[in-house]
Structure 1
Amino acid sequence: MSTPPRTGGVGDSPTVADRIRRIQQSLSPAELKLSRALLANYPAAGLESTNSLAQKVGISAPTVLRFIGRLGFGKYRDFQDALREEVQARRASPLTLPARITADSATSELASVVAETASKAIQHTFSVLPEHEFERAVALLCGPAKRITVFGGRFSHLLATYFDLHLRLMRPGTSVHAVNPHEDPGFVVDLGRRDVCVVFDFRRYQRDTIALAKAAAGRGAKIVLVTDPWLSPAADFADVVLSARVEAAGSFDSLVAATALVEALVFAVHARLGGAADERMRTIEAGFGDVTTE
């Protein structure tokens, strides 16, 4: 039985944000200024007219058009059409996303479609992952003077907990607050420039998570945001943005690709910390001792 493609996703094509981040390191100063303006108010900034966007950024209209061409769009209208499609995808929910598998799908087909969809989501996530952004995230997470706090939303807090547990094994002082600082009134007050907040937020973006991240940024903390291809509003004030695909075989978005991205961060942090992390983990393991079963 053939299955129709699931709408509300990004398919095989990179998002506009993916395209921008992919070329950021090769941009001219004017183009870099434009790229930052587009990502800081994504995707709304790109829905303005060419002249309006150029005027707000402080560059020429021809520069805007050259930049759009570098992204792979023949016309400015094509660029805006792509953004409008992303706006619709941002608003998708389990009630608007038709599943690729249905009640009458064979069990073998169900498993096959789930595996194929998850595999493609992982591949697409890493194919557009900006190396410089990933490196910045790892550098922040490995800074010896940094205090790390990880938090997320209703579902994404599971990823936050998973990541937090690994970081606790590898470096001291990883978390200075509970994994769910939404419930800690002193969380923001205690933040400063030595803090790094790793924030997980996926569509439909959670207001309290965004507000907490914004407040943390306002206190001088660095924000590492893990989000979907359409970018949580928290991207507006994040220092590092890493996106993961969320395509799924069913009506609910998947965290499989995001989990793979988290595991890549764990691996990179472990490799960067090296012997110090290994020594800490050996001490922790020795404290647990051997576990035997009868």
Structure 2
Amino acid sequence: MDMVAGEYASVRKLLLTTMDELSNGERKVARALLAQYPAAGLTTVSDLAASAGVSPPTVVRFVTRLGFGGFPAFQRALVHELNGELGSPLKQYAQKARGSGKGILPETHQAFAAMLETSYQEIPESEFTTLVKMLCDPGRDIRVAGGRFSGLVAEYLVIHLWLLRDGVQLVGSGEIDRRRTIVEAGADTVFLMYDYRRYSEGSLRLAQEMADRGATVCLMTDNWLSPIAKSAKVVLPVRVESASPFDSLVAAMALTESIVAGVAESLGPAGKERLELVEASIEHE
């Protein structure tokens, strides 16, 4: 891994960009680390191995594959990133409340543009492609859920997917709806969860129970990664920092639009035929 003296590359970004090059065991280590980032990497080799369900030598190979001279060097990079990126929320609030003096429109424009650029650079393209392929599979039922705010983005995706294919449902926040979704889940179910920081315990339980039922769990999350990442087959992270003290779903919505575009392109004539049926039904009302 290329480093300048006194500087470290982002370990998170390194993990996301090298995911395709890792062995199955090494990928488990990467998932365990990202699911509890960076705390999982600040313990011991044995602890990280146990969290990932692999042997300690696999963790050592994983660290070497990333380009570090050993586990201590790997941990130093994590500590450097931790100190540089994870400031106090109150401190960030005070900093953002002051602004730069340029005005709200220029500040938010710059923040959102940077967020989108960074997010798209960090998205693992292979995992994006895998998700689109699953969402296009007519043999799979699609279930999508979100949180208090991200549920709006989840609903947006469901509406568009429904226009292109059948077997798509939004999972509501009510207990009965979630119980029914779990009971009806199986090996042919794709469960896509939107979960961003201030992660919900209810969302975590739902994802775990869906996985226990055999569903393929996929995750839309932020760059810190929801704990659901440990049980997810596909993880698509985006940045959420904005010019205000509040997290933004701009990048999450943009990625959702990319998913819709990917599904529409992959379905081709079948998606167009479905859309024609929907449009015809609207005209007859």
Q: TM-score range by the shorter chain?
A: 0.7 to 0.9
Residue 268 of structure 2 aligns with which residue?
274
| Cα RMSD for the two superposed structures | 3.2
Counterpart CA distance in 2 for 1:57 and 1:233 is 18
Compared with structure 1, are the counterparts of its residues 28 and 166 closer, same or farther at alpha carbon in structure 2 (3 Å cutoff)?
A: closer
TM-score by length of 1: 0.81
Residue 78 of structure 1 aligns with which residue?
76
For the pair 1:220 / 2:214, whether they are aligned, the reply is: yes
For the pair 1:289 / 2:260, whether they are aligned, the reply is: no
Q: Partner amino acid for 2:260?
A: V
Q: Deviations over 1:31-56 (max 9, x none)?
A: 44533443455443311234654687
Q: Partner amino acid for 1:117?
A: A
Q: Partner amino acid for 2:44?
A: S
Helix, strand or coil at the partner of 2:184: coil
2:160 to 166, 171, 187: 166
Counterpart CA distance in 2 for 1:286 and 1:70 is 59
Compared with structure 1, are the counterparts of its residues 47 and 143 closer, same or farther at alpha carbon in structure 2 (3 Å cutoff)?
A: same
1:137 to 127, 131, 137: 131
Residue 8 of structure 1 aligns with which residue?
none
Q: Partner amino acid for 1:232?
A: S
C-alpha contact 1:15 1:230 (8 A) present in aligned 2: no
Counterpart CA distance in 2 for 1:173 and 1:49 is 45
Q: Partner amino acid for 1:18?
A: K
C-alpha contact 2:40 2:48 (8 A) present in aligned 1: yes
C-alpha contact 2:97 2:245 (8 A) present in aligned 1: no
Alignment of 1:172-183 (within 5 A): 172-175=166-169, 178-180=171-173, 182-183=175-176
TM-score by length of 2: 0.83
Percent of matched pairs sharing the same residue:
35
Alignment of 1:20-169 (within 5 A): 20-28=15-23, 31-39=26-34, 41-50=36-45, 53=48, 57-60=54-57, 62-69=60-67, 75-82=73-80, 84-85=82-83, 88=86, 97-98=92-93, 102=97, 109-169=103-163
Compared with structure 1, are the counterparts of its residues 64 and 127 closer, same or farther at alpha carbon in structure 2 (3 Å cutoff)?
A: closer
Helix, strand or coil at the partner of 1:57: coil
Which blocks of at least 5 consecutive residues in structure 2 are unaligned? 1-7
C-alpha contact 1:210 1:234 (8 A) present in aligned 2: yes
Compared with structure 1, are the counterparts of its residues 146 and 104 closer, same or farther at alpha carbon in structure 2 (3 Å cutoff)?
A: closer
Counterpart CA distance in 1 for 2:121 and 2:107 is 21
Q: Deviations over 1:195-248 (max 9, x none)?
A: 111100001111111111111111111111000001001111111000011011
Helix, strand or coil at the partner of 1:75: helix
Q: In the TM superposition, what is the alpha-carbon distance from 1:17 to its structure 2 partner?
A: 3.4
- Between Structure 1 and Structure 2, how many residues are aligned? 274
Compared with structure 1, are the counterparts of its residues 116 and 100 closer, same or farther at alpha carbon in structure 2 (3 Å cutoff)?
A: farther
Q: Compare the two structures and name the one with the higher helix fraction.
A: 2
Compared with structure 1, are the counterparts of its residues 67 and 271 closer, same or farther at alpha carbon in structure 2 (3 Å cutoff)?
A: same
